[in-house]
Amino acid sequence: MKKERLFTPGPVQIPERVLKVLGEPIIHHRTPEFKEIFAYTRELFKRLVDSPSDNFVYFASSGTGAMEAAVANFFKPGEKVIVINAGKFGERWVQIANTYGLEIVELKYEWGKSVDIDQLKDSLDRNPDAKGVLFQISETSTGAYHDYKAIGELCKNRDTLVVADAITTLGVYNIKPQQEGIDILIGGSQKALMLPPGLSILWFSERAEKRLNPKGYYFDVKKEVKKQKDATTAYTPAVSLIIGLRESLEILLEEGMENVEKRHRIMSEATRKAVEELGFKVLPEKPAISVTAILSEFAEKLRKEMLTLGVRTAGGQDHLKGKLFRISHMGYLDMLDHFSAIGALELAMVKVLGKTDHLGKGIRAFQKAIVING
C-alpha cells in the first residue's frame, strides 16, 4: 500500500470535508438552492479578503483566464504598463499584455530574484503615464516573493493600477487588497483554496472599476459582476467547484487568516532549514511561504525516488528543468505531512547520492525550527 501526498504547487491536497461535497449529486445552476450557495460563497470571500466590496467575479477557468480578463477589461490597446518579470508567470504577464496591444515597460530579473522596490519607483517616476503594474506576489516557478504591500504603497498616489497575481498566495497570506493598495487581485482554485483546478477569481477596487472597459465576450467582467452581485452568472458556472469553495473558505475562516499565514510561514521556514542542513541551496533570496524551490543537479532523480515513497513534488520549468525541485506548503498539509516530505528526501538521497551520513539531519533541523518558531 502506498499513499501519495501532493507537495506540488497546484493541484494540492484537498481536505476530506471538501472532497465530500464535491462527491455529492450535482445540482442545477439556475435554482434557488444554488443561488443561495453562490451568494453565501460571495459573503465568505468578502470575509477572506476583509473587504465589503461586491466587485469580484468567479470564472470557470484556470488562473490564467483571470489574468487575461484583468488585461482585457481594465486596459486599452496602446496603454503603458510596467511588468515585473522574474519567472515563468511574469513572462505570462508579458505575453498577455502583448496579445492585447499594450506598451510594456519590462522590469526583468534573473529567475529567483525579487523586485527591487527602488528600481520600481524609478521606473514609475520615469513612466508617469504607466496605467498599471503587473506582477506575481509569489512567483511559483522560483518560489520568490514580491512585496505587494510596498508595491501598493508606491502606487497609491499615482494613476497606476496595482494588478497582483495572487494565485499561489490567496489562502496563504492574509491579503487585504482594499487596505493594502491592490486594485486587481487574482486567485485560482487549485492552490491554497484547496480545490480541483477550474475556478478563478478576480477582485477589483473602486479605482479599477472606473477603468472597466470590457473587450471580448466570455471574460466580460462588467457583464459578469452585474450577474454575480445577484447571485447568478452570465454563463454556466463551475457548480461543483463553487460548492467546494463554500467549504474551503469556511475552513480557512475557521482557522483565521492570521493563523493560516503563520502556519505557512512556520512550515516553509522549517522546510528551508531542513533542506539547507541537508546541503541544498534554496533558489530565491526572498522566498515566499507558499512553495520552497530547491536547487540540485540531481533534482529529477530525487523527485523520482521521493515519488516511489509516496511524495510527489514539482520540478523546475524551462531552463531550470532538471536543476530544481519544488516543495509546496499549500493545501491540506500539516506538520506531520511535512515530516514525510523531509524524510522522503533524506531516503531519496541515500539512493541517488549513495550516502547515509545525512540521515536525520533534515528532520532534526525541521523539528528545531518548529520549536523555535512555533
Angular region, 143: left φ>0, alpha ψ -120 to 50, beta rest: left
220: amino acid identity, one letter: D
The three-state secondary structure class of 168 is coil
β-pair type (130-136, 161-165) = parallel
Peptide bond connecting 15 to the previous residue in cis, omega within 30 degrees of 0: no
CA angle 210–148–74, rounded 5-degree value: 25
Give residues with Cβ within 8 angstroms of 289, minimum separation 6: 145, 172, 173, 261, 264, 265, 267, 268, 269, 329
Q: Tell me the DSSP string of 105-148.
A: EEEE--TT----HHHHHHHHHH-TTEEEEEEESEETTTTEE--H
Q: Which amino acid is at 274?
A: A
Phi, psi of 108 (to 5 degrees): -100, 130
Whether residue 42 is annotated as binding a ligand: the answer is no
Distance between CA atoms of residues 266 and 278, nearest Å: 18
Diameter of the chain measured on Cα atoms: 63
Interatomic CA distance for residues 140 and 165, integer angstroms: 10
Residues at the binding site for substrate are 326
Where is the binding site, in residues?
326
